[in-house]
Structure 1
Amino acid sequence: MILLQVNQLTKYFAAEMILSNIKFEIQTNDRVALVGRNGAGKSTLLKIIAGQSSYDSGEIIKPKGVSIGYLAQNTGLESEKSIWDEMLTVFDHLRKMEKELRSLEEKMADPTVFSDSPKYDKVLKEYDHLQVKFKDEGGYQYEADIRSVLHGLHFGSFDHDTKISTLSGGQKTRLALGKLLLTRPDILILDEPTNHLDIDTLSWLEGYLQGYSGAILIVSHDRYFLDKVVNQVYELSRRKMTKFVGNYSSYLDQKAENYEREMKLFEKQQDEISKLEDFVQRNLARASTTKRAQSRRKQLQKMDRLDRPSGDEKSASFSFEIERQSGNDVLKADSIAVGYGSDSVSEQINFRISRGDSIALVGPNGVGKSTLLKTIVNKLPALAGSIHHGSNVSIGYYDQQQAELNSNKKVLNELWDEYPLKPEKEIRTVLGNFLFSGDDVLKIVSSLSGGEKARLALAKLMMEKANFLILDEPTNHLDLDSKEVLENALIDYPGTILFVSHDRYFINRIATKVFELESTGLTEYLGDYDYFIEKKLEQEELETLNAQLAPQQKVETVASDKKGYQQDKEAKKLERQRKRRIEEIESSIEGLETKAAELEELLCDPEIFQDHQRVGELNEQLEKTKHEIEQLMDEWAELAE
């Protein structure tokens, strides 16, 4: 059943067109992701569909009775009620039915009604009808549903009489999500629902949405989440919409295949056009060939010319370098406690960080991950214990709140004032690499969007050339393409990294270790996120068995695990290098093949053919190019085995 149709929808902000002739539909049980760059109009489109924003032309068709539930970005639940009472408001209609059932039960127990058969039968029939309706609509399980959702969103340990007005912004956002999930609309529209959710809550939400009975339309920058939940992807790019069937990874593969196929068709047609135009130019004036030339010209005029495939929009381009290398020991923490004032949130934290480590710091919200990072960079004092920095360690810190980027300076001056000896051209080039071009560099910093502030903060971080990067949620506010650019820059970074992130895809690509922070200490896992989850499951499954093992056996198990990890780590590093080299070779071969084709075309030119010296030079270049292609093909074949 079609739940929603959008036809030829267009939206302007003042004179600027945001959306153009948008067309798509949502059917029952569809799981749809809406993807695109920051500023492409994704949130605007969601608001239009939800009826919270107008549009200029087109139509939105929705069958009568189809309900839509919408959660905007960072929407907090504002209420003076308690957590439980606010969740109960979703089921007011069931509670009303419940009261009616109790009233009918009282009537049936009334002796005067019981003795009056017609009246009793009427009440009994009404009661049976209402009871069936009450059961079908979930009347006997709504309290269990509330408890399940609150537990999944980490409110299980909360006193449900807690006033919502006393909660933090992130907690209010989670409650708004929970309330919307309990309403179970036919079409559930979620704009960045993964914000403010820790990894455990994300996993719960994935499972909940996989079993959701209605249709889902999601905007999210969490690739792991999209792969688990969606079965369709609509890409919004250059104000146009394109549909792809499958999850996010499938969308990336299809997009790359489509671009390659369209480019080949375009190049083939361009080659054909070039040959036809050349034939017309050479033969139109000759009496013997003029008819054939005129025929080719008509063929050119009738040809439906393909546009060059647009490919991806411009991406940020940057890399992190270091001024000088640190010593082997970068950081050591001995029995530290972290928190605010005299209240600690985590204590007995011990760890050691060595040069070249790339460490993900994970744990539930509120356990003190950001607090620990601020303590390491001396923005907060340690409440107990000590932190020792290694020799030649220089720290670059990225704050998830971007607290230091609220000035009234222009973007250009925000960066230039910190590096006044750099020429303006170099500062503008750096900003251009982070997509601040033209008049963008004259924007006021405090007026920037979240994504723009994130890119500016990364630009400042890049300029520091620190050898130890401490990053607190670096992927927040970045679109999917910018995340990938950041990942590649960090993979190639020659220094040490400690980062907090809820993006599991990002952790898998970057981390070589995982630190799990709890209120009573920190546990180190040697591997990426998938390895960490695997080990956690093993620990849960073997907890009883391990208690029965002899101490010697346990030590041998740990030693074996570390040895296996080191081998696995080295294998993954080599695999990343292999894939990167294959991509470089394929790009080089493509360029060389284009060059060879151009040389062969020149050799076929009659004018050049008469110039023996020029022919010799071109043949020499062609042979050299073909030899380079052969060498690269041999290397490619060896790496691809």
Structure 2
Amino acid sequence: MSLVNIRNLGVTLSAPLFSKLNLAVNAGDRIGLVAANGRGKSTLLRCIAGGMEANTGDIIRSRGLTIGYVEQDVPSDLGDTPFYAAVLEALPPEERPSESWRVDVTLDSLQVSEAMRERPLKHLSGGWQRLAMLARVWVREPDVLLLDEPTNHLDLAKIGQLEEWLNALPRDVPVIISSHDRAFLDATTNRTLFLRPEQSQIFALPYTRARMALDEVDAADARRYERDIKVAQQLRKQAAKLNNIGINSGSDLLVVKTKQLKERADKLEETAKPAHLERSAGAIKLANQGTHAKVLVTLDDAAVETPDGTLLFRTGKRFIRQGDRIVLLGRNGAGKTRLMMMLRKAIENPETTQGGIKATPALVLGYGDQALADLVDEETPMHAIVHRFDVGDQRARSLLAGAGITIEKQSRPIGRLSSGQKARLGLLLLRLAEPNFYLLDEPTNHLDIEGQEALEGELLDPRASCLLVSHDRSFVRAVANRFWLIERKKLVELDGPEDFFASIGAARD
């Protein structure tokens, strides 16, 4: 018996998000919910949780069913509340004195230390805040769990921890996960729903295999549509020929036959459905100018230190060459960000050696950090473009529209853009700087899967050279051709990332 039954559900805001959606949620389901940014994932979760009404259709929930919905954002009124208290407050007041043990069990299962439990939420990292919101929902022991972008702000260790936690849940508790993290979906789901304005598709497969099945369905639909349109065109040609013959001969039979052929063509064209075309959230393109220099950066046993001078690691003698796409691996606090900052200074000041790091003067840097620090919330996207680059208003509007920032949003403060739109604006600014080397810190943060794949394609251009830090395992596997690991105060080169990914899991066991 289904715990949640969705029948012909549809939601239209400024445009249709989804329509005629049918989905049965059963015990044991682990459903991955996939769509581009702003295409209805959070809306569907809110509908299932009962916080929003759809325009059409019904959601039938089993009698007495409780649904736990973990939203993306931390409520502003919880900022000063300690971790433990924030979870305790999620219980009904009358249960708190006798049921507080449930808080300890929940926090133990999420490996929250005693010291962390006493810290106010506003002093925690984004990753710990996400886990606090999960704990607040799970402590109430819901029958169904809904997770909206649960891996946002989590590092690799916490993502692995969350995967283990989800896979250890009672098997009869269904979970619906909205996420752009492909590796996470593969590790935690057994069904995948691709949410579309029309004809949403669901497969009893985790993401990667479901995506392959979806591509086959779309390709078959495209072939069927082309075939139907071609047959309709042939019918119209035959009708035109018969019509001419009928007129010349005065044959009523040929006139009737002509009419029948036209009706068949009309019906075929009316029923033929084009294959689904995903509406792009905005183009992602990089400059990829290339350079004639073969060696771009030389690291001559540079010492990477904390601000107070404590040694984190030494680089040894290393080179970054044209065409290198290096991913920098290491645990939190190992010194990845410090090395990125040293490289940035060396490239921006090539006339000097920065602590053992020397960059060729031919380099033009494209730097992007995960906090999108180069974006000013009070500034408008138009101002950000025209005041930094030699482009006119018309060209700036065209570039912004191509990046997925509509005309009405181009003159609003950047702070009012969605996270995905901010990420695309940041990448557009990188492109306009026309760099020939990229330093990218978590570049896929806030990008949907379409955006991640587009960025992968740009970085795989033979002229692209970059060093990047990323917790996105699918992105790392797709893009990188060299792998540097910070380990035991040394920078070592690996043949691939899999041993490091596995070691993150082993360290938690």
Fold conserved (TM > 0.5)?
yes
The structure-2 alpha-carbon separation of the partners of 1:461 and 1:335, relative to structure 1 and needing over 3 Å to count, comes to same
The Cα shift of 1:419 comes to: 2.3
Equivalent of 1:222, from 168, 177, 181? 181
Shift of residue 199, structure 1, vs aligned partner: 0.9
Could you tell me which residue of structure 1 aligns to residue 344 of structure 2? 377
**Distance 1:535-1:273 versus aligned 2 partners, 3 A rule:** same
Aligned to 2:239, the other structure's residue is in SS state helix
Contact 1:411 1:443 in 2 (8 A): yes
Contact 2:288 2:461 in 1 (8 A): no
For residues 300-358 of structure 1, what are the alpha-carbon distances to aligned partners after superposition, in whole Å with 9 as ceiling and x for unaligned?
A: 45546312223232352524312633441514164534445x386x6233253421322
Letter in 1 for 2:67: I
Residue 191 (str. 1) matches residue 148 (str. 2): yes
Question: Is 1:348 the equivalent of 2:313?
Answer: yes
- Tell me what 1:506 maps to: 475
> Out of 238, 241, 253, which is 1:282 matched to?
241
Deviation at 1:162, TM superposition (A): 4.5
Alignment of 1:25-424 (within 5 A): 25-75=24-74, 78=78, 83-84=83-84, 143=104, 146-149=107-110, 151=111, 155-156=112-113, 158=115, 160-162=117-119, 164=121, 166-213=123-170, 214-238=173-197, 241-284=200-243, 285=246, 286-288=249-251, 290=254, 291-300=256-265, 302-303=267-268, 305-314=271-280, 316-322=283-289, 324-332=291-299, 334-340=301-307, 342=308, 347-351=312-316, 352-355=318-321, 356-378=323-345, 386-391=355-360, 392-406=362-376, 408-420=378-390, 422=391
Q: 1:339 to 1:239 in 2, by over 3 A?
A: farther
Distance in structure 1 (CA, Å) of the matches to 2:404 and 2:82: 45
Larger Rg: 1
- Aligned-residue identity in percent: 26
Structure 1, 244-253 or 439-448: larger mean CA deviation: 439-448
2:496 paired residue among 498, 512, 528: 528
Answering whether residue 3 of structure 2 is matched by residue 3 of structure 1, we say yes
**1:180-210, CA deviations, whole angstroms, 9 ceiling, x for partnerless residues?**
3444422111011001211122122212212
Query: Partners in 1 of 2:418 and 2:262 — Cα distance?
Result: 52
Match of 1:573 in 2: none
Name the CA distance, whole Å, in 2 between partners of 1:209 and 1:292: 64
Q: How far apart, in 1, do the equivalents of 2:188 and 2:240 lie? A: 57
TM-score w.r.t. length of structure 1: 0.67
With over 3 angstroms needed to count, the CA separation of the structure-2 counterparts of 1:48 and 1:353, relative to structure 1, is farther
C-alpha deviations, 1:262-308, integer Å up to 9, x for none?
A: 12211222122112111211212244561433442343455463122
Q: Deviations over 1:142-164 (max 9, x none)?
A: 85653232x2xxx3484655455
SS of equivalent residue, structure 2 residue 288: coil
Give the direction of change, closer, same or farther, for the CA distance of 1:447–1:282 in structure 2 (3 Å limit): same
- Contact 1:335–1:350 (Cα < 8 Å) also in 2: yes
Work out the CA distance in 1 between the residues paired with 2:81 and 2:279.
47
**CA positional deviation for 1:9:** 3.3
Q: Does 1:474 align with 2:443?
A: yes
Unaligned segments of structure 1, at least 5 residues: 100-138, 380-384, 541-641
Partner Cα separation in structure 1 for residue 38 and residue 127 of structure 2: 24
User: CA shift at 1:423, angstroms?
Assistant: 5.5
Q: Cα gap change, 1:377/1:185 in structure 2, threshold over 3 Å: closer, same or farther?
A: same
CA RMSD of aligned residues (A): 3.6
Take 1:277 and 1:97, find their aligned partners in 2: how far apart are those partners? 78
Query: Using a 3 Å threshold, how does the CA distance of structure 1 residues 42 and 522 change in structure 2: closer, same or farther?
Result: farther
CA distance 1:181–1:378, shift in 2 (3 Å): farther
* Corresponding position of 1:591: none
Deviations 1:465-491 (A, max 9, x none): 322211011101111001100001001
* Separation (CA, whole Å) in 2 of partners of 1:96 and 1:358: 55
Cross-structure match for 1:574: none
Of 290-299 and 230-239, deviating more is: 290-299
Q: What runs of 5+ residues in structure 2 fail to find an aligned partner?
A: 347-353
Higher helix content, 1 or 2: 1
| Cα displacement (A) at 1:12 | 4.7
State the AA in 2 paired with 1:2.
S
Change (3 A) 1:329 1:165: closer
Q: Taking CA–CA contacts closer than 8 Å with sequence separation of 6 or more, which of the two structures ends up with the larger relative contact order?
A: 2
- How far is the alpha carbon of 1:260 from its aligned partner? 1.5
Aligned mates of 1:268, 1:170 — CA distance in 2:
50
The residue identity in structure 2 corresponding to 1:233 is T
In 1, distance between residues paired with 2:52 and 2:181?
Answer: 25
Aligned mates of 1:459, 1:85 — CA distance in 2: 42
* 295 and 443 in structure 1: CA distance in 2 versus 1, 3 angstrom threshold: same
Stretch moving more, 302-311 or 479-488: 302-311
Contact 1:198–1:363, Cα closer than 8 Å, also in 2: no
Verify the 8 A CA contact 1:338 1:375 in the aligned structure 2. Answer: no
Q: How many angstroms does 1:407 deviate by?
A: 5.2
* Preserved contact between residue 472 and residue 500 of structure 1 (Cα < 8 Å): yes
Q: Aligned residue pairs: how many?
A: 488
Report the Cα distance in structure 2 between the residues aligned to 1:45 and 1:204, rounded to whole angstroms.
26
